[in-house]
Structures are given as C-alpha cells and as structure tokens.
Amino acid sequence: MNEGEPDRRVVDGRFELESRLGGGGMGTVWRAQDLLLHRYVAVKEVRPPDIDLAEYDPAAAEMLRQRVLREARALARVEHPNVVTIHHIVDGGEGTYPWLVMELVQGGSLADRLARGPMAPAEAARLGRGVLDALNAAHEAGVQHRDVKPANVLLRTDGRPVLTDFGIAAIRDATALTATGSIIGTPDYMAPERVSGHSGGPSADLWSLAMMLYVAVEGYHPLQRGTTLATLAAVLQEDVPPPVRAGSLTPVLSCVLVRDPEARPDAGTVGRMLDVAATQPEDRRPETTSYRLAPPAPPSLPPTSGMQTTSRRRPAKRNRGVTVASSVVAVLLIGTLAWKVLPNGNAKNNTGSSSAGAAGQTQQQTTPTVSASKSSAAVKTQDMLTPDGIRTAIKAFKDKTGSDRFASLSVYPGYVIADVMVKGSKTKYDSYTYRSGTGFDDLFDDKGTLPGGDQPVKLDDFDWDVVPTLLKRANKDLKVEKPTSRYLLLRVPNTVDGEAVGMAIYLSDDYGSSGFMEATPQGKVTRVEPADG
C-alpha cells in the first residue's frame, strides 16, 4: 500500500481509502475512491485473524494468499446481478496479503434491515430468490459460499440483494484454518454436515440460506445458544422448531432445515417454492420494531455443586466472527458438552429428575437460594441481579484476570457472563462465567476478538445502585405480564454505529414476548421498547 500524503492511504497507487465500512475475522472492508476512473468502490483488506501467522508459519500464510487469489479469480468469472462484482486484485507477492477491489453496494446489509424488525414472508421470499440465484451462479462456477448470513447479503438501493464474501468464506475452511487448528466463521448458519467436519456441498449453502430466511421472518435464531459450543451442539442434535410467522415461506423452511443433506430439495425445487411464496398474499404484517432481534431461548446449564439449574443465554451481539475448534476437536468437545448437559441422552439431571422449569427459574430469579456443595456443606448464594451481586462479580472478574476493561457484561439472577479484555491487548478478550455461590464455571469459558467498532469500557462510573429502580420500571413499562427471564446487559460504545455506553434491562416470557429498556451508566432511561404482545 502506498502512503502518499499524510492522512491519505492509497492502495496500489490508485484506490484511496476513505472510511471503514465493516470488518470481521478475515479482514476489513473500506469505502474507497478509484482515482483513475473517478468512482467509488469497496476495497477488502484480506488478513488472517492471527496477524503473526506469517512470522511463525510462513507456509500457511502463503497458502492463505494463494487461496484468496484462486477464489477471487473464480468468483470474477461469475457474472450475475445478485453477486458482488470484483473489479481488481492487488497482489504484492509473497509475504503479503491481497486486497480485493469490488463494486460498492450502497443500500446497507440485510443485517441492518433486520435490526429494524422482521420481514413479511413474501418480502423474505423475494430476497431469498435473489440470493438463491446468486448461489446457483457461483455453484456453476465451482465456488461454494459457506457463510451465507445477513451480514453477507448487501442490498441495492432498490432492495435487490447482492451476495458478497464468497472467497473469504471458502478460505476459512482450508487455511487458518488448517494450519492453526481453527475455523473462523459464524456457527449459527453452518449446516450440520459442516459442523460435523464434512466440507458439504451446495445443499449446505441451501441450509444457510433457509436459516437466514427463518431468522428474517421469525425475528430470532432458533438454534443460537449462549456459547459457540452450545450453538454447534444444537445444530448437530436439535430439530429446528416449526416457524410460526413464516406464512407462505413455511414449506420452504420445513423442507430445507433438516439435518440430512440428502433429504433436502435441490436448488431448482427450492427456487420454485420461493417463487410461489413470493406471490402469496399475506394474512398479516409481522410485527416491526426498531430494536435488535431478541436473544433466543437458551439451553440449561449443567447442575453445579447441587445447585438448581437455570437457563443461560448470551444476548446476540453484532455480527461477530467466532473462533471455534477445528472440526474434529469441535465434535469431540460437543460430545462432551452434550453428555454434561444431557446425561443419558435426555434433559434430566444426574438423579433422573427433570431440570427446573419456568416456575423454578422464576423463583431463582427473584430470591436467593441455599444449595448443598459436593461435600454437603451449605453454600450461600446471592441474587447477582442486584447492586451487591454485580459488584461482587465485577471484583471477581478483575481479581481473576488482572484487567479492568470489559467488552460485555450480562447479568442474570444466578450468574454473570463477561468478556474481559486480555491485559495489554486492545482487541482480544477472554469470556468467563461467574456463578453465585460456586465461583467460576470453566465449562462455558471462551475467547474471542472484538468486532469492528466495539470499544471496551471500565465500569467504575456505573451506578449499580439504580438497578432495582430500573427493574421496577421495566416490570411496569415493558408490558411482559409474567416474565420468566430478566437480565441486564452492558452497552459498549461502538464507533461504527454510534452506540453510546450504557446498560439495558431485558424481560421475556416463555412465549417469546420480550421488551427492553436502555439507560445511561447513571440510570437515566433513554429508551423503552415494550413487548409487542
């Protein structure tokens, strides 16, 4: 890259970078001006998640470079209005990573659209048909996408979808990748066969497309869980629940979202079904809101020291790439996780009794409990969703890590989840679960890298004494009659979408009705989004 004048970044002497459009585990996308043709383009700065890869494994770094070039050249042969156009490749040779110059799509992403609320089934079907056409064109050129998700579907100003990030998704499976034993990607939309270690064929992309459409019309992800491994276990083992808001899209979703790839219809059949769904009149418009999709119902945590189990969920974050174990290791870990969560292949605890239901969850959320430890000694627990409980957890995180900067904090009555920045790092975090009465729960710990724009914060300025007042107001104003889940989230500032630092209270019930309320660190309410009934 050429530097040129101060504050100017020019790639290949031609493409002047102006602003950051987004990024993930495999690079950053910039809005740039083509100084030769006087037009705006999107420039993808391709780089591995491990910036030191070239130093300790130059062969793997070169393999990444070659794979990027090969996939980009293959995609450049795909001429389709629903596939992003690649204009140019900037390759600096061995020891460098390529830059991809692509058309600039101005209408935002599907993820941005869904942040405003779910789509009507016919609207989603029309969008799905466009994405399917893009996949068909790519498959004919020998390119599989492997990462179809809302963030990778861009929208033209007239609403037509454009599928992007083809080659990068393919690279994720064949590089870091193989050398470092990791797969970079979003497990929420992976087909079961890919989770289990198989490369998958075109039908794997169809699963991802159908799951994206499910999320688009239903307003939540049915298999998303509190951790990467729990999500992968759900994809492998759990059936997708029947949609309730999908209307004319229901037949498509029901046929494609099955674990056996051989049982899924082919792309031609899916296309015909989407065409029918797109022309059907709608009985009603789905509810539209201005807030992000509510987190899905979580799996149960395994019993710890005889404690009554509660449900854990990590609220959905901005599309964050997640590093997970390699295919073989992931399957082994998932098997261990499933054995711990579902001993003897069912959802009962070690005594054979059913895990706590909604009534038990509600009781634990509102009152402290006393549980027996492994030695039968009494263990005192406290409600973590209180000022003292929050302070106790924060101190525990600081003592354990030596760090006082947080990328996320999710407070539930029985436990607290936090992403704590690695000391000395500006981008890496370790994720911990602190459980009332028993301390840290290592089963669900994780690691990751901050998504684009997120800024970690210190929590010294937060007035936790306002939490009881916020909870009382939430019970009154969020219109959730019988909440079975209540929790508090830290809102970290984000330089991309302009989100300010603060906190939010969420309430939801067993029927999917949920609402939230946002406040400043000092407790001033700034936004109330009640349940939609």
Catalytic residue numbers, as ranges: 147
Assign 195 to helix, strand or coil: helix
Q: How many CA atoms lie within 13 A of 308 on its CB side?
A: 19
Q: Where are the alpha helices (DSSP H) in 238-279?
A: 250-256, 267-279
For 210, phi then psi, to 5°, come to -65, -40
58-76 and 166-174 helices, crossing angle to 10°: 150
Q: How far apart are CA 128 and CA 272, in angstroms?
A: 11
- List, in sequence order, every residue forming a beta bridge with 185; answer none if it has no partner: 322
**Burial of 395 from C-beta contacts in 10 A (0-12 / 13-18 / 19+):** exposed
Residue with token string 């301390």: 439
Residue 273 φ/ψ region, left for φ over 0, alpha for ψ in the -120 to 50 degree band, beta for the rest = alpha
Q: Which of 247, 180, 255 is nearest to 210 (CA)?
A: 255
Which 8-state DSSP code applies to residue 520?
A: -
Two structure tokens written together for 183: 């797969």
* DSSP code string of 281-344: PPSSPPP--SSPPPPPPPPBPPP-TTPPP-B--PPP-SS--EEEE-HHHHHHHHHHHHHHHSGG
Given a contact cutoff of 8 angstroms between Cβ atoms, the answer to whether 152 and 25 are in contact is no
Q: How many CB atoms are located within 10 Å of the residue 405 CB?
A: 20
Assign 46 to helix, strand or coil: strand
Q: How many CB atoms are located within 10 Å of the residue 252 CB?
A: 29
Given a contact cutoff of 8 angstroms between Cβ atoms, the answer to whether 179 and 63 are in contact is yes
Residue with token string 């156009």: 85
CB neighbour list of residue 365: distance below 8 Å, 6 or more residues apart: 310, 383, 385, 412, 413, 414, 484, 485, 486
Q: How far apart are CA 144 and CA 165, in angstroms?
A: 11
Given a contact cutoff of 8 angstroms between Cβ atoms, the answer to whether 421 and 454 are in contact is no
Given a contact cutoff of 8 angstroms between Cβ atoms, the answer to whether 243 and 196 are in contact is no
Which amino acid is located at 105 in the chain?
V
Q: How far apart are CA 310 and CA 308, in angstroms?
A: 7
Given a contact cutoff of 8 angstroms between Cβ atoms, the answer to whether 505 and 517 are in contact is yes
